[in-house]
Structure 1
Amino acid sequence: MKNYIAYYRVSRKEQGLSGLGLAAQKSAVEKYVKSQDGAVLEDFTEVETGTNKRERVEIKKAIQLAKDKKAVLVIAKLDRLARNVSFVSNLMDSGIEFLAVDMPSANNFTIHIFSALAEQEAKLISSRTKQSLAELKKKGIKLGNPSNLTQEARCKGIETIKKNALNNDRNRQAKSIVQSCKEKGMTFRQIAEYLNELNFKTRYGKQFLSTTVHRLYKSSI
């Protein structure tokens, strides 16, 4: 039986206190560990923001225990670990085995790419948000008061934002992997097989083919 040390992180103090976001992470990890006939020896929860520069106490405890127990450090999603490439690199240099449930077949090469994308995405989101708010203020629009929207409109708006963010994020990730793999000399067919192993789908929800990868590569250069 393989042993695991689970690490969870919620992005705001309110989420940590209420359990929002935490329950989903625990459910994903427990489901994965069970599918591997493994056992979670202990879990650690960090309450902070992804760009917080303060010392991460709980992750250090989790890493040390994983070393001591020769266990696998498991997380629900890669972006729950950190939006910081150097942090992920240091973790990998520690010598412990770790995986993200949403990408169990990802290797060190892939994890570096995804952590870099997560870090860049955090910076872009912050920049875009500030620019958008500044433009709205210039137009004299009062912020923070959505009372003029119906509940249906608010829900649709939120779902659209989530869907677009997910699609854009996955598309950028796939493009980055294609470019990096191509630089390493992999063929389009090999890259397609690699993307399929990582459970990536095309925008139509299908598996990647060499021709699909070729089009994606052409659009990224």
Structure 2
Amino acid sequence: MKYVVYYRVSTKDQNLGLDAQRSMVEKSLKAEDEVLRSFTEKETGTNKKFRPILQEALNLCKETGAILLIAKLDRLARNVSVISTLMESGIQFQAVDMPAATNLTIHIFAAIAEHEADIISQRTKSALKEIKSNIKENGHHISKSGNKVTSLGSPSNLTDEARRKAVEAIKNKKRLNPRNRQAKALIRSLHKEGKKLSEIARELNDNGFTASRGGKFRAEQVKRLIEA
């Protein structure tokens, strides 16, 4: 197979996760596969417009008939509009973390990712709004640890607030585990289509999902999640 590989990192000054993406892609390739070119873009995943480097990758796919290969679906985009536009373009693409994903499952995961990004954005805006309001009314804001914040201009003033947000984010991540939410969304969707419990379990396993204890999904576990 011929592939054009696309990598994305979130910010212009950070390459966090790039090595992991490359490793995932390299491990997924077979000896007979051919990578025509790799593209790397530094851009937020919530951007609702096609990014220039991504567009270059897509143009090469059109010219050569190659498949667009990405490590993880959320590296391509975290909004439904970009995913939908890509699908309608007729270009084939494949995500290493979900090799058996269908158009339906890809739309579901994109919608979940977009929703989660919106929640994070709103939470951040609300926290900053509260701090600004307290500073304006009282001349300062008292963090959870009791430190006084008088300005948002210096990163050091936000150290304690940043720690508090980090702890909250970790708790929320454990509580809302995106992969668990994606699995439940996929189960509900496939169940509505009339799929059998064993078929749903196989779809979950093929897409790299694991049960709560790390093993493969079975029909009885799918049933419990449907009834939960």
Instruction: Please say whether Structure 1 and Structure 2 have the same fold, judged by a TM-score greater than 0.5.
Output: yes
1:13-52 equivalence runs, <5 A: 13-15=12-14, 19-33=15-29, 35=30, 37-52=32-47
1:117 to 112, 116, 137: 112
Q: Name the counterpart of 1:76.
A: 71
Give the counterpart letter for 2:191 in structure 1. K
Shift of 1:189: 2.1
**Bigger radius of gyration:** 2
- CA 1:54–1:210 in structure 2 vs 1: closer, same or farther (change >3 Å)? closer
- CA 1:54–1:41 in structure 2 vs 1: closer, same or farther (change >3 Å)? same
Partners of 1:110 and 1:185 lie apart in 2 by 15
Shift of 1:36: 5.5
Percent identical residues:
48
Shift of 1:176: 0.5
User: 1:137-171 deviations in whole A, cap 9, x for unaligned?
Assistant: 75621462249x8xxxxxx9599559627x61011
The reply to whether residue 201 of structure 1 matches residue 210 of structure 2 is yes
Q: Name the counterpart of 1:178.
A: 187
Count of residue correspondences: 209
User: 1:105-155 deviations in whole A, cap 9, x for unaligned?
Assistant: 2121211111111111111111233334556775621462249x8xxxxxx
- CA 1:55–1:109 in structure 2 vs 1: closer, same or farther (change >3 Å)? closer
C-alpha contact (below 8 Å) 2:48/2:81 kept by paired residues: no
Per the normalisation by structure 2, the TM-score is 0.80
Partners of 1:71 and 1:55 lie apart in 2 by 19
C-alpha contact (below 8 Å) 2:71/2:97 kept by paired residues: yes
Alignment root-mean-square deviation, CA: 2.8
Shift of 1:57: 0.8
Q: Name the counterpart of 2:138.
A: none
User: 1:54-77 deviations in whole A, cap 9, x for unaligned?
Assistant: 541111111111121111100111
Give the counterpart letter for 1:199 in structure 2. G
The reply to whether residue 144 of structure 1 matches residue 158 of structure 2 is yes
Identify the structure with the greater helix proportion. Answer: 1
Partners of 1:24 and 1:181 lie apart in 2 by 31
Q: Name the counterpart of 2:56.
A: 61
Give the counterpart letter for 2:203 in structure 1. Y
- CA 1:133–1:113 in structure 2 vs 1: closer, same or farther (change >3 Å)? same
Shift of 1:13: 0.4
User: 1:29-62 deviations in whole A, cap 9, x for unaligned?
Assistant: 12212x3631211111221111224541111111
Partners of 1:115 and 1:53 lie apart in 2 by 12
- CA 1:162–1:69 in structure 2 vs 1: closer, same or farther (change >3 Å)? farther
